[in-house]
């Protein structure tokens, strides 16, 4: 099934916000933006359900950066521990 062109998050937010305002019908918005009304409805529902997270303590991007930093630190620690283990094995060998 062919897919339409991908839309930016900013575009989706703009359209969903217009739908929430209800100044125009879904069909009017669909015609204006060249979308299917069900797509606009889905974006609207997503915005309404995920909206409270916007003002949460951390954004998704910030959480991802923290996760990547932690992962990098853990990999470095694993590397150091492996080196120490090999050194100890060599020293303990008769």
Question: 33 and 24 in contact (C-beta within 8 Å)?
Answer: no
pLDDT of residue 37: 92
User: What is the Cα–Cα distance from 23 to 13, expressed in whole angstroms?
Assistant: 16
What is the mean pLDDT for each group of 10 consecutive residues in the chain (94 residues)? 70 92 92 92 90 68 84 94 94 83
pLDDT of residue 40: 92
pLDDT of residue 94: 73
Compute the C-alpha angle 20/55/8, nearest 5°. Answer: 55
Element spanning 76, H or E: helix 60-92
User: What is the Cα–Cα distance from 19 to 13, expressed in whole angstroms?
Assistant: 10
Neighbours of 54 (CB within 10 A): 9
User: What is the Cα–Cα distance from 51 to 38, expressed in whole angstroms?
Assistant: 19
């Amino acid at each position: 099934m062919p897919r339409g062109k991908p839309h930016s998050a900013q575009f989706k937010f703009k359209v969903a916000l217009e739908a929430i305002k209800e100044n125009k019908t879904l069909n009017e918005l669909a015609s204006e933006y060249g979308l299917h009304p069900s797509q606009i409805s889905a974006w609207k529902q997503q915005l309404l359900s995920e909206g409270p997270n916007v003002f949460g303590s951390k954004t998704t991007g910030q959480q991802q950066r923290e996760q990547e930093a932690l992962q990098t630190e853990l990999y470095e620690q694993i590397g150091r521990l492996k080196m120490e283990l090999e050194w100890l094995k060599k020293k303990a060998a008769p």
